[in-house]
Amino acid sequence: MSSPERIARADRIAPYVEVQLRLANRMAELTGAPLGETALTHTNLHRRLGLGLWREGPPAAGWAPYAEALEAAPDLAAQLALTREAFIAASDEVLPHPGQSGFGSFAHDPATDDGVVRIHFHNLDTDDDGGPLVAAKVPRRRAELRALVANVRRVHPQATQIRGGSWLYNLEAYRRLFPPDYVASRAPHAPPIGLRGTATWGQVIDSRERIRPDVRDAVVASLPAMDPEAPWEVFPYRMLAVSAPIESFVRFYGL
């Protein structure tokens, strides 16, 4: 039996799911692709349904029956009701994702052959004191990043550079956690920009998973004119790319 907390969460994120389904439906209209396919490639529902982070190749086994039911649903309301029930029945998402090393709200991928380590942020510290980026939690976030960088140096001594990519770099509350040269490097992320995670979709909700009406409304208003070759352009905050040598992080966190 599903817990009351899971049901309450399903209802809380319903507006978030709705705007994702609206975009997936618009992509299906514009491209002729099945809705199950556009929901896989342009939303984070694969993750939200406890199936893990999908990058490429076949989705998790549980996706096919959901996708088939989604395509058979007669309208958006039915699609939303179907997704709500699937979410209630699903397992919680496991963070950090397989292959990543986690440190509180942050995680990093293994170093690539050319020495690049990518870092990721997860909303894992929202409580009565506020979300994970409130001023009172800055020391906690920086301590997590300090531990992350120390782990990179220990486990991946070949690492030379740390990179990130997220809409969050538009926010000073997030930027203040990082070395100045890392922050100063921010620039529009090179296309194509994936919509399968939260690096872009995260801006549509707050740290308590409540919809941000202004962002939601901006996305929905942009859907009729959406370019199917650049769907990320419907979002008011663009994904930014950042990078800096690992030595900058070592100095900034006093390692």
How does pLDDT run across 55-92, given as a tens digit for each residue? Answer: 888 999 999 999 999 999 999 999 999 999 999 999 98
Mean pLDDT of all residues in 6-19: 97
Contact 53, 99 (CB under 8 A): no
Q: For tokens 């919509």, what's the residue?
A: 195
- The residue-averaged pLDDT of 131-147 equals 98
Task: Give residue 56's pLDDT.
Answer: 86
Q: Identify the band that residue 2 occupies on the pLDDT scale cut at 50, 70 and 90.
A: confident
- How would you classify the pairing of strands 161-166 and 106-108? unpaired
**Domain limits, the chain:** 4-94+191-234, 101-189+240-252
Tokens coding 187: 């620039």
Q: What's the chain's Rg over C-alpha atoms?
A: 19
Q: Which band of pLDDT confidence, cut at 50, 70 and 90, is reported for residue 43?
A: very high
As a 3-state breakdown, the chain gives helix, strand, coil percent values, each rounded to 5, of 50, 10, 40
Average pLDDT, the chain: 96
Q: What confidence score (pLDDT) does residue 63 get?
A: 97
What pLDDT is stored for residue 1 in this prediction? 53
Side chain identity at 156, as an amino acid letter? H
Helix and strand element counts for the chain (H, E): 11, 6
Give the chain as a 3 state SS string.
Answer: CCCHHHHHHHHHCHHHHHHHHHHHHHHHHHHCCCHHHHHHHHCCHHHHCCCCCCCCCCCCCCHHHHHHHHHHCCCHHHHHHHHHHHHHHCCCCCCCCCCCEEECCEEECCCCCCCEEEEEECCCCCECCECCCCHHHHHHHHHHHHHHHHHHHHHCCCCCEEEEEEHHHHCHHHHCCCCHHHHHCCEECCCCCCCCCCCCHHHHECCCCCECHHHHHHHHHHHHHCCCCCHHHHCCCCCEEEEEEHHHHHHHCCC
